[in-house]
Amino acid sequence: MRVILYVFSGTGNTLKIANLYKRYLGDVDIYNISKKSAPPPSPDGYDLVGIGYPIHAFVAPEPVREFCKNMPAVERKRAFVFKSSGEGLHINDCSSQKIIKILKKKGYDVTCERHFVMPYNMIYRHRDEMAKQMWIYAQAMVDLNCRELLSGVREKVVKRRIWRPFVEFIGFTERHFAHLHGGFFKVDAKKCINCGRCVKACPQNNIKIKKDKYKFGHDCCLCMDCSFWCPQDAVKVGIFRFWKVHGDYKVEQLAKDGNLPFPYVPDKAKGIYRLYKKYYRECDEKLKAANINVGDYI
């Protein structure tokens, strides 16, 4: 089965998930959704289409919605959606409803969607113990979903949610706020080494260098790529400066670190991490039903 994954990934979490699909499905091509990317490969010739993205304020990022609107119409092509966020709340289920409707109108037969919990790229930095658990479970849950995709499992993907109107309002607000607030991003000249990484990486072409100064426009989608990956932590992110997370979590290394407890939730979790109990309990139930042992992915 040939698979094409169209993926938007600001700080890399969703791309890591996409590479897990490539590991377990085999014949997979990955296309990064970005204004800098070459024109996307046609879904023709592929048996399965996947759309992947990080959840922004309970909705799909603007570049993903626009990409789906511009996808070519097909005649009943199998598709699925996968998404990542820093928490397992079911309010995130609504994030894909609009793009699923867009895809269905274009002839894509969306048979399932999956939500994977990965470390935050803003708000706060997750503990290493928590990041380890997230990655181990992500591997197991992607493997499970790949088995389902290969066996032709289909599910109801458009669900009625009482909070959906609220989420759609949040999405509208987030999109316009991102455009406005993006102009307030700045580069600390004392830290900056002028490597230009932020300019090259910005998926929206929102960062320019004019007269040796970095200028941020109003096409930002708050992916936080510029801030998260800056080698000198030189990007100032406006009002989000107190929520800023900088640098990779090295999840592959953390997963193999025997000094970090596993599972962290629910056994040793305290404070806010107790909110993840329901998500991991649901994961455990699904893995058990499929005879998959999460400990095999350490």
Q: What is the pLDDT of residue 107?
A: 97
Per-residue pLDDT tens digits for 86-132: 988 887 888 898 899 999 999 999 999 999 999 998 888 999 999 99
- Whether residue 79 contacts residue 96, with contact meaning beta carbons closer than 8 Å, is answered with no
The model's pLDDT over 159-216, given as tens digits with 9 standing for 90+, comes to 656 666 666 666 667 777 888 888 889 999 999 999 999 999 999 999 999 888 999 9
Helix boundaries (H) for 70-220: 97-105, 128-151, 164-182, 197-201
Q: d(Cα 2, Cα 190) in Å, to the nearest integer?
A: 49
Q: Kindly state the tokens that stand for 53.
A: 């993205």
Integer Cα distance of 106 and 77 in angstroms: 9
Residue-level pLDDT at 297: 96
Quick one: fold of 1-182+251-298? Rossmann fold (3.40.50)
> One-letter amino acid identity for 229?
W
Which segment of 1-10, 119-128, 139-148 scores lowest on mean pLDDT? 119-128
pTM to 2 decimal places: 0.93
pLDDT at residue 29 in the model = 98
Write the pLDDT tens digit of every residue in 217-266.
999 999 999 999 999 999 999 888 888 898 889 999 999 999 999 999 98
Distance of CA 94 to the CA centre of its chain: 15
Indicate if the pLDDT at residue 275 is higher than 90.
no
Give the residue carrying structure tokens 């996947």: 50
DSSP string computed for 188-255: -TTT-----HHHHH-TT--EEEETTEEEE-S------HHHHT-TT--EE-GGGGGSB--S---HHHHH
**Among residues 108, 33, 47, 23, which one has the least CA distance to residue 73?**
108
pLDDT of residue 239: 85
> What confidence score (pLDDT) does residue 240 get?
84
pLDDT, tens digit, 9 for 90 and up, residues 27-66: 999 999 999 899 999 999 999 999 999 998 888 999 999 9
- Give the residue extent of every domain in the chain: 1-182+251-298
